[in-house]
Amino acid sequence: MRIRLIAVGTRMPDWVEQGYNEYAKRLPRDCSVELVELPLAVRSKNSDIARAMEKEGEAMMAAFGKGDTVIALDVKGKPWSTEQLAEQMAGWKMSGNNYSLLIGGPDGLAPACLAQATIRWSLSPLTLPHPLVRILLIEQLYRATTILQNHPYHK
């Protein structure tokens, strides 16, 4: 199983990279996570936001692997507890499939990406800064693996 985090936005602050890398290195070898960063479409005062999102969506769809199960991180998605995420991950491992988790830009995910998603998952009903979502997501993936390994970290 390979998990690919496809995120809009590059050149993250050091604290984001450090936080992400800390949890990524803790993941067990059988849980491979790859971060794919895509450039943010140009936005200006008079720019067409829908077109910017469409451009980002096209780049995202080109980045996920053929046959990947696509999971959109979307505020309107279904919330999972950490234990439910662990159950999902156990199923992912058993399926033998690869997974692409999509993190949109400042305006969310393009409608085409949402349409491609098999699952819509909400990390929180709160609006979260996209750099923070990367750290939160990788930490939760790590925490879910500790549950599956009966490690006490998750408590």
Q: Binding site for S-adenosyl-L-methionine: what residues are annotated? A: 73, 104, 123-128
Q: How far apart are CA 128 and CA 77, in angstroms?
A: 14
Which residue numbers belong to the known binding site?
A: 73, 104, 123-128
State the DSSP string of 36-86: EEEPPPP--TT--HHHHHHHHHHHHHHHSPTTPEEEEEEEEEEE--HHHHH
Distances from the Cα of 125 to the Cα of 80, 90, 129, angstroms: 12, 25, 13
Per DSSP, 139 falls in state H
